[in-house]
């Protein structure tokens, strides 16, 4: 049974929230609409996050990072997402891309690449999905063939967040075609490696400031010591990674939902109809109440999952999937309601809630669709792996 969670943030975690919110309000939010409109990378946010050591807060202190715990990292992502969902993918994807090294990498590999990430020498992306291997990741076709002291990689990875911007990539590739999931290995590939190239940015519904591109590997020759963990353990490492990083997507969803709720509340108090603020009408009050209730429920589930991520609890797989599914469904519902609160104005790009609604949609899809999350949860329940609390 998991230890009973301590409710309430520590002074340090509260200080992190206040610092990130101040940073986001001052240096990220003012550029969010333009970043979305121009579908450009949020360089202002990247610079501000790096200067404040919030670009990859999860990196341990021994490698030069801030050493933030899982909940503090969640708070960073949540607060950035409240201002700009695209920008929140900087700390979120840096954790996703580098966590396989933290889980299974050699000390030399961790020191080199986690140190570079902490110093701001390049972001870290995660390459699992392929054109014909999305939810069915084991169906991947990217190959890695041993050649002396090197591995040679060939294949295409699709839906890679921040591809082209990141300097480093954790790439899953088949090293033994007959072993299915146990024939997949993980590698670190660098943007500068010969044979690495990128497709055109996808034209997306939301998170337009975070480029999503294909990564092409054409006879990419890398040293053998860039394998993460032992040969054949890549898929297991990938799944362990997602157990932890689904919590960060839940945090992003909570942040998006909170941003939409905050804006809707302010608007409802200012907008006058029939001689009084629309916030005075009970029908709207009930809608706002439901929005607030859902956001807080999602936040509590996300924080509970973050605690399990930090401790490595046995029921993390259930809680990570549950938090991600619940928070992302909440973000979609709350942002849709926020548009409704603003009425016709909510449907225009002059106001941020339509952007938040578009951004929220992807949280129900990436790092495993919410249908996949429900499969994961059901398997955990049927196996009896869930907190007794």
- Report the first-to-last Cα separation within the chain, whole angstroms: 7
Which residue range is the domain that position 34 belongs to?
A: 11-118
The angle formed by the CA atoms of residues 314, 320 and 322, to the nearest 5 degrees, is 115
Choose one of 200, 232, 264: the last residue of a domain.
Answer: 232
311 and 188 inside one domain: no
How many independent structural domains does the chain possess? 3
* Whether pLDDT at 279 is above 60: yes
Place of tokens 């801030």: 66
Domain identity same for 100 and 130: no
**pLDDT score of 385:** 87
Query: Is 367 known to be catalytic?
Result: yes
Are residue 96 and residue 210 in the same domain, yes or no? no
With tokens 């899953």, the residue in question is 172
Q: Is it the case that residue 259 has pLDDT exceeding 50?
A: yes
Which percentage of the chain shows pLDDT scores above 70? 97
Q: What integer pLDDT is reported at residue 140 of this predicted model? A: 97
Give the mean pLDDT of 95-106: 98
- pLDDT of 4 strictly over 50: no
CATH of the domain at 69: 1.10.540.10
What does the pLDDT average to over 125-152?
Answer: 96
Within-domain flag for 1: no
Same-domain check for residues 257 and 302? yes
In a domain, 3, yes or no: no
Q: Active-site residue among 78, 130, 165, 367?
A: 367
Do 281 and 371 lie in a common domain? yes
Residue 388, in any domain of the structure: no
CATH number at residue 227: 2.40.110.10
Asked which of 232, 264, 281 is the last residue of a domain, the reply is: 232
**Per-residue confidence (pLDDT) for residue 1, from 0 to 100:** 35
- The pLDDT of residue 2 is 42
Residue 388 confidence (pLDDT)? 56
Quick one: 226 and 240 in the same domain? no
Band the pLDDT of 3: cuts 50, 70, 90: very low
Q: What is the mean pLDDT of the chain?
A: 96
Read off the pLDDT band of 8 (50, 70, 90).
confident
Residue 145 has pLDDT above 60, yes or no: yes
Tokens 């990674």 appear where?
241
Contacts for 298 with CB less than 8 Å, ≥ 6 apart: 250, 253, 254, 257, 323, 326, 327, 330, 331
What is the arithmetic mean of pLDDT over 95-123?
Answer: 98
Q: CATH code at 281? A: 1.20.140.10
83, 131: one domain: no
In a domain, 208, yes or no: yes
Average pLDDT value for residue range 45-64: 98
Residue 5 pLDDT more than 70?
Answer: no
**340: pLDDT strictly greater than 80:** yes
273 and 244 in one domain?
yes
Spatial CA neighbour of 303 closest among 4, 9, 1: 9
Final residue belonging to a domain, choices 176, 199, 232:
232
């Amino acid at each position: 049974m998991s230890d009973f969670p301590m409710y309430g943030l520590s002074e340090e975690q509260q200080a992190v929230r206040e610092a990130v919110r101040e940073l986001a309000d001052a240096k990220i939010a003012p550029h969010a609409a333009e970043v979305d409109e121009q579908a450009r990378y949020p360089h202002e946010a990247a610079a501000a996050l790096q200067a404040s050591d919030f670009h990859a807060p999860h990196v341990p202190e021994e490698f030069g990072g801030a050493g933030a715990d899982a909940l503090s990292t969640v708070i960073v992502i949540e607060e950035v997402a409240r201002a700009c969902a695209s920008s929140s993918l900087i700390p979120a994807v840096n954790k996703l891309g580098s966590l396989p090294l933290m889980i299974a990498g050699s000390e030399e590999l961790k020191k080199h690449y986690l140190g570079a990430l902490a110093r701001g020498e390049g972001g870290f992306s995660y390459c699992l999905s392929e054109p014909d291997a999305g939810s069915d990741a084991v169906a991947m076709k990217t190959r890695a063939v041993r050649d002396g002291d090197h591995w040679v990689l060939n294949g295409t990875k699709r839906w890679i967040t921040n591809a082209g911007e990141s300097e480093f990539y954790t790439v899953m590739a088949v090293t033994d075609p007959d072993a299915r999931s146990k024939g997949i290995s993980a590698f670190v590939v660098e943007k500068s490696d010969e044979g690495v190239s990128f497709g055109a940015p996808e034209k997306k519904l939301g998170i337009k400031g975070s480029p999503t591109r294909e990564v092409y590997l054409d006879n990419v020759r890398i040293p053998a010591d860039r394998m993460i963990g032992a040969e054949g353990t890549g898929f297991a490492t990938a799944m362990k990674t997602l157990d932890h990083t689904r919590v960060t997507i839940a945090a992003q969803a909570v942040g998006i939902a909170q941003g939409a709720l905050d804006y809707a509340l302010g608007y409802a108090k200012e907008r006058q109809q029939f001689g009084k603020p629309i916030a005075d009408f009970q029908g709207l009050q009930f809608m706002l109440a439901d929005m607030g209730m859902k956001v807080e429920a999602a936040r509590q589930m996300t924080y509970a999952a973050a605690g399990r991520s930090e401790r490595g609890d046995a029921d993390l797989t259930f809680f990570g999937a549950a938090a991600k599914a619940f928070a992302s469904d909440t973000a979609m519902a709350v942002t849709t309601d926020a548009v409704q609160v603003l009425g016709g104005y909510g449907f225009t790009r002059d106001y941020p809630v339509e952007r938040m609604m578009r951004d929220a949609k992807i949280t129900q899809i990436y790092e495993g669709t919410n249908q996949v999350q429900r499969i994961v949860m059901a398997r955990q329940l049927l196996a009896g792996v869930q907190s007794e609390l």
